[in-house]
Amino acid sequence: MSDGSSHVSPELPASVRERTLLRFASHRRAWATNPALRLCYRDWYGLIRDNLPAPDQGPWVEIGSGPGFARELIPELMLTDIVAAPWHDRQVQAEALPFPAGSLGALVLFDVLHHLAAPPLFFAEAIRVLRPGGRIVLVEPYLSPVSHFIYRRYHEEPADLAVDPLAPARPSAEGKDPFLANQAIPTVLFCRGQRFALAFPELRVIRLRRLAGLAYPATGGLGRGPLLPLALWRAVYFAEGLMPEVAFRLLGFRMLVVIERR
């Protein structure tokens, strides 16, 4: 098996690259002007940081770093994306990782898995490049009864629970717009049955936490401003922090998934 050192991320069409870079710039502006959104992201990246293996396990690499928020929040991460921007350390395709076998300690994906055209190819690559004990740490959309209704009605990305995340598909780099997505992919993959465990016996889900209630959509996300005055939003966010985790099975919008390489 190749050690992966010859893998090169193929170029996307120029129009797709330009559109993606404009989206990155838009998201960076939203981040700079939306304190509620920044607080959510800081807390979620904090959860990621808490679940990363020790640094001596190997380098930590973020796949699909996009606007590069992680640079401020986990500076030890290597930032990568299929569309390279100045703040990225490397151009990387998730389904063909350019790293030698057994060389990494962790892969971080924040809102990336549900954009991949071929999740099985990514997990196969993760198995190859991670050392035993290495981890994949994800923060992704979660479709609870409440969030599924809101995502379907008000979010630009589809949330189709009929998806088969393990079906064969072509890699994302083969002409696919990186922002095309299905928000249902993580919920179907990790919250419905044992297909993930059966498909990837080398990987073990060691933590699945549902989180983020209505305070998250009230931030306005990356596409619009906050929907509540900041003081009121903070009160809602604080109150949600006191709720038991089981409540987010009903109203959660996000999920943290930690997967360990056996």
pLDDT at 10 over 80: no
CA distance 45 to 138: 10
- Residue of 156, 77, 153 lying closest to 110 (CA atoms): 77
Residue 218 lies in a domain: no
The model's confidence at residue 28, banded by pLDDT at 50, 70 and 90, is very high
Interval 199-211: pLDDT, tens: 999 999 999 999 9
Domain that holds residue 70: 14-29+52-141+150-212+254-261
CA distance 155 to 221: 10
**What average pLDDT score do residues 216-228 get?**
91
Residue 75 lies in a domain: yes
Query: How confident is the model at residue 1, as a pLDDT?
Result: 36
pLDDT at 174 over 80: no
pLDDT at 3 over 90: no
Residue 236 lies in a domain: no
Query: How confident is the model at residue 223, as a pLDDT?
Result: 83
Residue 38 lies in a domain: no
**What average pLDDT score do residues 219-248 get?**
94
Residue 43 lies in a domain: no
Say if residues 112 and 94 touch (Cβ distance below 8 Å): yes
More confident residue, 18 or 173: 18
Query: How confident is the model at residue 8, as a pLDDT?
Result: 52
Buried b / exposed e along 8-41 (16+ C-beta atoms within 10 A): ebeebeeebbeebeebbeebbebbeebebbbbbb
- Residue of 241, 229, 244 lying closest to 40 (CA atoms): 241
CATH number of the domain to which 155 belongs: 3.40.50.150
Query: How confident is the model at residue 2, as a pLDDT?
Result: 41
Residue 9 lies in a domain: no
**What average pLDDT score do residues 30-57 get?**
97
**What average pLDDT score do residues 20-48 get?**
96
Query: How confident is the model at residue 6, as a pLDDT?
Result: 45
Give 160's contacts (C-beta < 8 A, 6+ positions apart): 182, 184
Interval 99-154: pLDDT, tens: 999 999 999 999 999 999 899 999 999 999 999 999 999 999 999 999 999 999 88
Residue 171 lies in a domain: yes
